[in-house]
Structure 1
Amino acid sequence: MANFNLSFLALFISPPIFLLIFLQLIVHLRPVKITIKSRHVFITGGSRGIGLAIAHQAAAEGARVTILARNLNRLEEAKSSIRRSTGIDVGIVSADVRDFDAVKEAVEGAGPIDVLVCNQGVYASCELVNFDIKEIKDMIDVNLIGCLNLVKAALPGMKNRSDRKPVSIAFMSSQSGQVGIHGCSAYAASKFGLRGLAEALQQEVIADDIYVSLIFPPDTDTPSLAEEKKTRPRLTSIIAASSGMMHVNDVAKKSLNGIKSGSFYVPCNFQGFLLSISSVGLSPRRSWLLAIFEVIFAGLIRVVALCYLWKWYGTIEKWHAQNKYRKGGLMK
């Protein structure tokens, strides 16, 4: 009986071990360490919210920080805030990420970048049929095209750096960039687009020791979220509550730690971790432990995902049934 149990255990464990050896020989997964002390960290959307929190933490760790946003007054307030908390002055640049020429001028004026954090974002939730087309275009332009502008402007300097230490390009995505939910069709489109950009870009820049990170925060306690919630569809709030809310400093810490470890996927909470496993596809992975975990548990996590989907679609069906009943009652 003991021999049977050992044989069964060997059958269960052997495939992951053989896969691990295969990955080591063929894929060359290896850990990466990206230092930020005394290096230039350039953060867009840095005047408030997650961007400002990352700027605070990066400055506290000894990085040379530049923050970019459109509103110069907010940038000045952010600079004063960081100085008060860390005693360090940061650079500020006012530019619109939708304007490539303005972005290029801002990047060149700030000097060579070691860590580029594309954090700018516009968020609005609404059923697509009711969305204003201009609002959709603005969201795509800021969230996706803005990142393309930033990377294109920064890459020449990052590729030609004299310091050949590893550097990073990080995109602030969202859990709406891992799974689409009701009311977030336009926003999800802009954030899902970042994944395609990040996966292809990583292949283009890996030879230059440039590591790409995709960060997936859930709802985060920021002024922007507070404004968005005023017009958010009720169904969107119910479904989004499945992942809870995080404090902005916690998201900033998770983001910066992910960047420093060169992680491609950077989830910020447990639900985000499950989503990163279930949606990993052909995305690169630089952690042996997570690679093995994915191989062993991907099927089980798919079951968990199906349970979430069952709950969400049940909520949607119930919601529409109740609205239909109310409308029918009013008509009588």
Structure 2
Amino acid sequence: MNPPKHAIITGGSSGIGLAIAHRLAAQGASLSLIARTPEKLEAARAQLEAKRRLPDQQVFTVAADVADRAQADQAVQRAIAHLGPPDWLVTCAGIARPGEFLEIPVEVFERTMAVNYFGTLYCIRAALPAMEQQRHGQIVCVSSGAGLIGLYGYTAYSPSKFALRGLAESLRGELKPKGIGVSIVYPPDTDTPQLAEENKTKPLVTQKITATAKTWSADGVAEVILAGVQRRAFAITPGFEMGVLNRLHSVLLPMLNQSFDKITAKVRNLQ
């Protein structure tokens, strides 16, 4: 698969989204970044323009909250008007607020689903007509390892990432005859500003459970994502653990639950 001429990336001002943008800029792609904070977008644009390989490459930024349907639609339409139909849409925008179930405000559950699931859905709906018209495109939905198994402390986050899996699996067969590919990514913990924010409220049990797996760099995850899209993979799983979990999560779940329960009991005995 050739590099995209135009890629729209939500959550493109930091973390995995920005890392993907850096790699695509180095390949000659023009980019549209959608994120909430204008200052972060401007800083990302300056970084990416320094990476341009071709004189006609452009970096376009739009400040928008993808959880708001009107804002998401307008942002995607502005990107298309400026740089043309997207070859790729990469949905990285996401939030996480770990905590004990009854201690998390209901509004956090609603906001997390709004950003992580509906924010992806709105942007796909906005970009898809242009992709269908050109008869090609690639949609890349960034889920999480917590979208394969539910984890202690992630009662707000895991369901929103599970929902992305259902959306991607359903869309794959529908869009394939139209020349549009769909991929879903299950990253492990990744060293990003979001992870730093998560760690502020992450219960000790959750810390112990997630500490059993390696934390990846955003660039390392971006490298695996681009390689996965290149080989037209549906499920993209950075690292051995995510690969096994994707293939065998239902088989492994009883054993994993036993392990997690032991960690929970040990932590609670120490408190």
Secondary structure at the aligned position of 1:106 is classed as helix
Match of 2:164 in 1: 194
CA deviation vs aligned residue, 1:265-322 (integer Å, no higher than 9, x gap): 100111101111114x8xxxxxxxxxxxxxxxxxxxx3x6544332211111222333
Mapped to 2, the partners of 1:35 and 1:134 lie a distance apart of 42
Q: Structure 2 length normalisation: TM-score?
A: 0.92
Residues 1:311 and 2:243 aligned together: no
Match of 1:266 in 2: 236
Q: How many residues align?
A: 264
Match of 1:255 in 2: 225
Match of 1:225 in 2: 195
Secondary structure at the aligned position of 1:134 is classed as helix
Mapped to 1, the partners of 2:172 and 2:17 lie a distance apart of 22
Unaligned runs of 5+ in 1: 1-33, 282-301, 324-332
Larger Rg: 1
Match of 2:182 in 1: 212
State the one-letter code of the partner of 1:104: D
- Give how far 1:189 is off: 0.5
Bigger drift between 200-209 and 181-190 goes to 200-209
Q: Report which of the two has the higher share of helix.
A: 1
- Give how far 1:35 is off: 2.1
Give the superposed CA RMSD: 1.6
Match of 2:3 in 1: 36
The question of whether the paired residues in 2 share the 8 Å contact of 1:41 and 1:113 is answered with yes
Unaligned runs of 5+ in 2: none
Match of 1:183 in 2: 153
Mapped to 1, the partners of 2:176 and 2:198 lie a distance apart of 37
Q: Equivalences for 1:93-132 in 2 at 5 Å?
A: 93-111=62-80, 112-132=85-105
The question of whether the paired residues in 2 share the 8 Å contact of 1:82 and 1:89 is answered with no
State the one-letter code of the partner of 2:263: T
Mapped to 1, the partners of 2:73 and 2:193 lie a distance apart of 28
Mapped to 1, the partners of 2:64 and 2:113 lie a distance apart of 17
Q: Equivalences for 1:1-332 in 2 at 5 Å?
A: 34-37=1-4, 39-86=5-52, 89-111=58-80, 112-161=85-134, 164=135, 166-279=136-249, 302=251, 306-323=254-271
Secondary structure at the aligned position of 1:124 is classed as coil
Match of 1:12 in 2: none
CA deviation vs aligned residue, 1:119-166 (integer Å, no higher than 9, x gap): 1001111111110111111111000011110111111111011xx4x4
- Give how far 1:249 is off: 0.5
CA deviation vs aligned residue, 1:43-64 (integer Å, no higher than 9, x gap): 0000011100100001111111
Mapped to 1, the partners of 2:111 and 2:33 lie a distance apart of 21
Mapped to 2, the partners of 1:188 and 1:101 lie a distance apart of 26
State the one-letter code of the partner of 1:56: H
State the one-letter code of the partner of 1:311: S
Secondary structure at the aligned position of 1:102 is classed as helix
Q: Structure 1 length normalisation: TM-score?
A: 0.76
The question of whether the paired residues in 2 share the 8 Å contact of 1:79 and 1:89 is answered with no
Secondary structure at the aligned position of 1:125 is classed as coil
Secondary structure at the aligned position of 1:150 is classed as helix
Secondary structure at the aligned position of 1:243 is classed as coil
